[in-house]
Amino acid sequence: MGLGSISQAAEAKSIECLVEPSQVIEVKAPIEGLIEKVNVDRGDSVKQGQVLISLDMGVDKARYDQAKFKASMRGAQLAAKSRLEFSNKKFGRDEALYKDLYVSANDRDESESGMKLASAELLEAKENNNVAALQVREYQELMKLKELKSPFDGVVLERSHHPGEVAEANDRLPILKLAKIQPLYVEVVLQASALGKVHVGDEIKIKPQPEGVGEFLAKVTVVDPVLDAASGTLGVRLEVANKDKRIPGGISCQAEFPTL
């Protein structure tokens, strides 16, 4: 829609609004652990994927290395394979001798049993290696949980923990609180009579308070399809790009709707 002409601006209806971060999250440890590093502080900018907090992984790394070593071990498999090859040959010989009545049925059965036992030992050795490989994966995933990364580009609003403290999964206080301020949302509550007059894609002029921030345009992205029956209102969300972080979140504003 744009800003429109001077006459349109004069007719525009000014509605109170609020500029908010598009997302605010609390960063908590998913598992209990000793905080080793907190790499950011209040007011810092963060990038998506950046490591914000590291929990101590000394024991986990030792267990990971142990499991990795076990997964690489092939001695038990080679020994079991060798026994199986010998048992197969022995059974083949005893089977032939049994048919010619040179060995008893008991000797032949013992050879067969030894062959099956060797086969089971080889299978067990392979399974043990597979279990060790799964443990490697388990410790890898566990260590990932101990590196807390930022899910988006944003800023740090709060920090409540420090290195040396124990982070708990059910801790009431988050270690950090992050806000995504690119883009920003502008939240407006309109009377029900606005339904059908405001549409997704409309551009609305926003006058922020304090005035020093400067006016800007925001685009309507959501018009609630369900009214609040108690108040006879509907919510509208607008979105504004904030790449240069010029517009702070959490400020009040006036939204000028020329169609109301």
**Full domain range(s) for residue 237:** 6-56+153-257
Domain boundary among 112, 144, 176: 144
Share of the chain above pLDDT 90, in %: 63
Asked whether residue 92 is assigned to any structural domain, the reply reads yes
- How many domains does one find in the chain? 2
Same domain, 50 and 65: no
pLDDT, averaged across the chain = 89
Same domain, 176 and 92: no
Same domain, 34 and 157: yes
* Per-residue pLDDT, 2: 41
Residue 241 pLDDT more than 60? Answer: yes
Q: Which of 27-36, 98-107, 237-246 has the lowest mean pLDDT?
A: 98-107
Quick one: pLDDT band at residue 56, thresholds 50, 70, 90? Answer: very high
Same domain, 44 and 158: yes
Mean pLDDT of 233-239: 97
Domain boundary among 144, 172, 188: 144
Quick one: pLDDT band at residue 192, thresholds 50, 70, 90? Answer: very high
130-143 confidence digits (pLDDT tens): 998 999 999 999 99
Residue 64 pLDDT more than 50? Answer: yes
Q: How many CB atoms lie within 10 A of CB 58?
A: 9
> Which residues are 38's β-sheet partners?
53
| Contact partners, residue 87, CB within 8 Å, separation at least 6 | 111, 114, 115, 117, 118, 119
Integer CA distances (angstroms), 245 to 88, 105, 213, 256, in order: 75, 88, 11, 22
Quick one: pLDDT band at residue 108, thresholds 50, 70, 90? Answer: confident
Same domain, 87 and 133: yes
Q: Is 116 helix (H, G, I), strand (E, B) or coil?
A: helix
Asked whether residue 168 is assigned to any structural domain, the reply reads yes
CA-based max dimension of the chain: 116
Integer CA distances (angstroms), 91 to 74, 80, 111, 116, 206, in order: 26, 16, 5, 10, 89
* Per-residue pLDDT, 212: 84
Element counts in the chain: helices (H) and strands (E): 4, 12
Same domain, 62 and 45: no
* Per-residue pLDDT, 3: 39
Token pair for 124:
């067990």
Token pair for 133:
């490989």
Same domain, 132 and 159: no
Same domain, 50 and 88: no
Same domain, 157 and 233: yes
Same domain, 160 and 43: yes
208-225 confidence digits (pLDDT tens): 988 788 999 999 999 999
Cα-Cα-Cα-Cα dihedral sign, residues 71, 73, 78, 80: negative
Block residue for tokens 């950046």: 50
Distance between CA atoms of residues 132 and 67, nearest Å: 5
Same domain, 158 and 136: no
Asked whether residue 1 is assigned to any structural domain, the reply reads no
Same domain, 11 and 88: no
Block residue for tokens 């060797």: 118
9-45 confidence digits (pLDDT tens): 446 789 999 999 999 999 999 999 999 999 999 999 9
Here the CATH number for the domain that contains residue 33 is: 2.40.30.170
The answer, as to whether pTM is greater than 0.85, is no
